[in-house]
A and B are shown apart, each in its own frame.
Chain A
Amino acid sequence: MATLTQQRPTPKAVPTNGDATLDRIAALYREPEWLTRARRDALAAYAGSALPDRVTHLWRYTAPEQFIPQDGAAALAAPSASGKREFPSVLADELGPESVAAAAYIREGLVWKTAVDEELSRAGLLIMDLHEGARQKPELVQQHLGSLIGADFGKFEAFTNAAWSGGLLVYVPRGLELSRPVHLVTAQPVHLTDVAGRLLVIVDEGASLTLIDEYGDGAAASIPQRTHHIVEAFVGRGARFTYAPIQNWNRNTTSYMTQRARLDSDARIDVVMTSMGGASAKVDCGTILSAPGGESNIYGLAIGDQSQRFDHHTVHRHASGRTRSDLKFKVALRDNADSVYTGLIRIDEKSAFCEAYQENRNLILSPKAKAESIPELEILNNEVRCSHGATVGRIDEQEIFYCESRGIDRAEAIRLIVAGFIEPIVQHVPDIAQSRLRSTIIRRLEER
């Protein structure tokens, strides 16, 4: 496997706000004019927009102030460029036996290292720094970047559109069906207070891609940090995309992530997202089914303990008839953790013959944990089959009693029941990450 170690120039510490920052980014990365222009517009949009109001469910339970990036923070700073750039062991261990098609490591706001299987690289598979992609493949990047999540999406998305660095482009050419996953890891920043990054995924007609996208690696940091990420995915006609984001930032991190996928005709996306880290994490994840035959399945798992706060919003927007969506979001909370889940299914006026299902299950494992569930439906076409369900509760004593009566002690019984609760979601995680994730989650939820 050829490893392309890209040595990007390392920018010095610059403030996150202001045109000066953008000028420096533009110069350092030799950005095309159109990209710098888009950043400037985004910065203006960010500066010119008010904080979201607290009335809509989207922001009712989460204070927007916590996501405001720090002024004049030491951003985009990185340790000296000298010294070898290595992959973390989780990636190195997969690259060795070639159990992944490609890997990329993002660190301190830089694309630290990428590696792509030689043969697949020749077949046109691209895993590259987004700046590099913008220069080499402008026709690909320019038409897609920011078209799903642009500066007008929201205040914080405008910020990320302006200030992102260490962006990644993943492109799978027409007809290329990958049998091995692509694995991305974004490290916990160590020196930065704010990190803004983005991922652009394009799966061309008839292609298929499985992508594991990990954020945070357990590294400790003494300073409070904010992470801002945008993920845009375009799934072409008849193509298939399996996306597994795993969020495990440290307990000093406030994270904000917006993700959107757009499906072409007969395209399919399966998202399996896991949220485990951060002091406070807000996610907005959705699919726009814009052509007939599209199918979107979103599976989510949020695991909270201590005083963690999760705010997840999902959207399935049926902008075309004859599309199908399914969503299962499960939450398990200990201690004083708090979770808000708001999910919208929207069937547009002209979208006939759609099916949409949604399920949110909240398992409360401690007396002070709290869950809010707001599954919403907006149905404007009558040729539809749509339903949703939500439950909130703790473990049924009957189930524990059943286990105990079979010689299983209480602690083990709870462990089994919790494992059973998360399993329907975890089983959708790509194989190479599945058992690692399963044991991490069960350990987190164990009684202490």
Chain B
Amino acid sequence: MGQTIAEKIFSYHSGKKVFAGDFVIVELDLVMAHDTTCAWAIDPFYEIAKKVWDKKKIIIPFDHAFPAPNIAMAKLQNKIRVFAKEQNIPIHTNGVCHQIMAESFINPGFLVLGADSHTPTGGGLGALTIGVGSTDAAIAMATGTCWFKVPQTIRIEISGKLKQGVYAKDVVLSIAKQFGPEGGNYRVLEYAGPTVMSFNVSSRLTLTNMSAEMGAKAAIVAPDKRTAQYLKENGRQYLLNKDLNSDEDARYEKIIHIDVTNLTPQIAMPPDIDNVEEVRKLEKKRIKVDQVFIGSCTNCRIEDLDVVYKIWKKNRPNTSLRIIVTPASKRVYLQALAKGYIKFFTELGVQILNPGCGPCLGRHGGVLYDGEVCVSTSNRNFTGRMGSPKAFIYLTSPATAAATAVAGYIADPRSFLN
């Protein structure tokens, strides 16, 4: 019987041929925990171990609130620094964890554990990257292993050419509308079809990242020449020597076909990910916006900033709004610097924050007040996520966010791109 990509990766890491429903203990390639989840893993770790299983395979990024915005956060980061020093593990301060994992660490076929819910992002490179809590991360740091029930896979085949002004984010928001916040729970979402394979890695990472919002255990795109190209651009070799394609007779829980030819820009309205509407419909309501946030592991790679630049080059943003751009990583920041975007955006009155999670989780740099409206390129519009529980968060593509920054109200980007 054939296997899905996920079943193959679980098989390669458990030493036996496994299928959905099997219970496995796997050997991990990497374990990631960041500046909050790592802090919670340290005490449990020292309860059961003295030394980490392999210091080269543990990645600790500081991104959720770095540099520390308050004493409580400084205390957590200090706790991690002490641990990292004791274990001789470097701390990475060059961007959002999922972005730097993609740029520098994840290879196709890897099985990676991450103490963060958006860990499925790395599946955009053809790896199986799974989110867990801090205790699982602590045990993994001690043993290099983790247990799993091999999940069912839902294959999402996407066809059709996206129209101008419509992007991977709009595609995945339309999928979230269909799936809801539980539609992918315990499953692997395997994105396939000509549209997905035409996407660059940046866009694929947007699909896999948002899969976490549908509850997915992991999300994956089969690696191909674009994956190889991405690795090369990031100074890495494509080390793949194993089959990472789903077999034709693989068993899926279901296969869904989506044609995106007529898709328009989408927006997730507060406070749910599946509360999705067409931007053109909301535009008519002239919803006044206080803050625009272009950042996060979902959407602030250089390809995203290319689109923002294209819109703002012709249409000056309205700086009565607070406009925040947080490049996803140091690499993206330097790319934006080289292309002149950082200077251009700064002169327009846009606030450029250091690479990291930025305002996405409401800890620093762009916290919202009661009644304020934010249009964000991030992945969560939960009540209270970015500050006051009385604030309103709308999720869009970078193009819609950039268009909104110009208009001052939620705006369809298509009229700004002609």
Is B one of A's binding partners?
Answer: no
